[in-house]
């Protein structure tokens, strides 16, 4: 007889054997999830949550989409796995569908298991293509937790693993709300950020720089949409000095911003794009690098020194094929753009007007952040940078209020992100905004004059 599964038994097994990422193991209490569908998931006690996190901003097509589930089941019955050295129909089809949607001539696809490995391989390709070693990335960024990717990362998760010897140089990207350049307009921020990058390149030595890697729209670091002209300016600097331009679209790709890739908003074509997450909504782990013709040619007769046992894993590729085709058939990318423009943008603007804790809202598509502050005038963050313990109490209270009301938030430092699935309906988005409105009253208690 199968033992009765309860939230308590699932938690007990988790506590006994699972080691969780980014956590002090004795201080966490993971929710035991019983099921999920669309924009919702629920626990064993029947508590239902509207997923305004898309888990880790990856379930772009929502939970348990029947077409993707069926595609994985069908592929499992046909062929579960095969080494990457073979030609496999579903792998080739996934690559074709991705290449059709990438900008420019990024028509070759190298598959990985996730975003961090995609970044590792993109950087390796850039270094081998140029014969140079240095890579530039911004402070407000996240590129993954493997060896090179964590050194490229700009947020504090880098600190415990930063060897200071990985050939990485960090610089400031544009962010007008907290401008490091004392800018007062988007144009000033763009011009000064590009001048700062040009100076960094000059002082580091252009001939030593293999690549510049940017998130098209930085995700976990705060969803700071770049000012008009910035990405084009970086492209020009890369062209001037023979530097490979890598855009990290792991989080912003596959419909999240209301375009297949966020770079489309600014009509910019990089030399390499890294992707993962939304390519198949995380149903089976998959990531990759989209490669330009020039870089692919470097390895036409010279072996590329990299590979993974599960590169282009058939089940993962089947999920990608089904996800991309379904997004096309059901207009899911357009839905993300429409919900963002017609529901989320005006809804968040209204919350910013009414709540003293909301300093700024920013984003596009279903990719938004609310900057929570103690004082709108001084822009003092609601909690200090990289706050922990008692210092982080206001954000912890806010997150608890969200969950208690049935909204699952994505919270990082002094921000809450609004990142529902790209399939979110107008009614679901409005429900989430109403729950967020209610939870923000908790953050308001910590503002100046409260």
Cα 336 from Cα 421, distance rounded (Å): 8
CA distances to 30, 219, 400, 436 from 406, rounded to whole Å, are: 16, 24, 10, 10
What are the residue ranges in the chain where pLDDT is below 70?
A: 1-2
Could you read off the pLDDT of 313-346 as tens digits, one per residue?
Answer: 999 999 999 999 999 999 999 999 999 999 999 9
CA distances to 43, 45, 218, 312, 374 from 35, rounded to whole Å, are: 7, 11, 30, 28, 37
- Residue 434 phi/psi, 5-degree rounding, is -65, -40
**Burial class of 424 by CB neighbour count within 10 A (0 to 12, 13 to 18, 19+):** buried
CATH number of 67-329: 3.40.640.10
**Burial class of 99 by CB neighbour count within 10 A (0 to 12, 13 to 18, 19+):** middle
Residue 362 tokens, joined: 């920013």
**Burial class of 288 by CB neighbour count within 10 A (0 to 12, 13 to 18, 19+):** buried
Cα 60 from Cα 37, distance rounded (Å): 12
H helix or E strand, kind and range, residue 34: strand 33-37
User: What's 7-64+331-444's CATH class?
Assistant: alpha beta
Q: Domain map of the chain by residue range?
A: 7-64+331-444, 67-329
Provide the total of helices (H) and of strands (E) in the chain, helices listed first. Answer: 14, 16
Q: Are the beta carbons of 114 and 276 closer than 8 angstroms?
A: yes
- Residue 448 phi/psi, 5-degree rounding, is -60, 130
Predicted local distance difference test score (pLDDT) of residue 2: 54
Predicted local distance difference test score (pLDDT) of residue 396: 96
CA distances to 17, 219, 330 from 288, rounded to whole Å, are: 30, 18, 24
């Amino acid at each position: 007889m199968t033992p009765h599964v309860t939230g308590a038994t699932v938690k007990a097994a988790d506590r006994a054997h699972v080691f969780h990422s980014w956590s002090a193991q004795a201080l966490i209490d993971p929710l035991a999830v019983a099921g999920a569908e669309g924009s919702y998931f629920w626990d064993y006690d029947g508590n239902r949550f509207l997923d305004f996190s898309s888990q880790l901003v990856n379930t772009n097509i929502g939970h348990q989409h029947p077409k993707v589930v069926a595609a994985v089941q069908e592929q499992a019955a046909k062929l579960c796995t095969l080494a990457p050295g073979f030609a496999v129909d579903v792998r080739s089809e996934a690559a074709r569908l991705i290449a059709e949607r990438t900008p420019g001539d990024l028509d070759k696809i190298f598959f990985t298991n996730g975003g961090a490995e995609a970044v590792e391989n993109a950087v390796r390709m850039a270094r081998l293509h140029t014969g140079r070693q240095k890579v530039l990335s911004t402070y407000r960024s996240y590129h993954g937790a493997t060896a090179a990717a964590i050194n490229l990362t700009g947020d504090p998760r880098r600190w415990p693993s930063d060897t200071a010897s990985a050939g990485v140089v960090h610089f400031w990207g544009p962010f007008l709300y907290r401008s490091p350049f004392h800018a007062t307009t988007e144009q000033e921020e763009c011009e000064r950020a590009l001048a700062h990058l040009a100076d960094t390149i000059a002082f580091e030595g252009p001939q030593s720089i293999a690549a510049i890697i940017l998130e098209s729209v930085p995700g976990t670091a705060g969803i700071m949409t770049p000012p008009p002209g910035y990405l084009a300016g970086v492209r020009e600097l890369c062209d001037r000095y023979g530097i490979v331009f890598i855009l990290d679209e792991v989080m912003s790709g596959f419909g999240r911003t209301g375009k297949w890739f966020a770079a489309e908003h600014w009509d910019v074509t990089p030399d390499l794009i890294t992707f993962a997450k939304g390519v198949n909504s995380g149903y089976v782990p998959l990531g990759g690098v989209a490669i330009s013709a020039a870089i692919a040619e470097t390895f036409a007769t010279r072996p590329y020194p990299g590979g993974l046992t599960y590169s282009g894993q058939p089940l993962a590729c089947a999920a990608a094929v089904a996800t991309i085709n379904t997004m096309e058939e059901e207009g899911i990318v357009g839905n993300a753009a429409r919900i963002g423009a017609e529901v989320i943008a005006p809804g968040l603007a209204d919350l910013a007007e009414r709540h003293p804790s909301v300093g700024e809202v920013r984003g596009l598509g279903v990719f938004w952040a609310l900057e929570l502050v103690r004082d709108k005038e001084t822009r003092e963050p609601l909690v200090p940078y990289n706050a922990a313990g008692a210092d982080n109490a206001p954000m912890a209270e806010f997150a608890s209020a969200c969950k208690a009301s049935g909204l699952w938030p994505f919270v990082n430092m002094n921000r809450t992100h609004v990142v529902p699935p790209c399939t979110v309906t107008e009614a679901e988005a409005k429900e989430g905004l109403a729950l967020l409105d209610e939870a923000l009253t908790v953050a308001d208690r910590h503002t100046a004059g409260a």
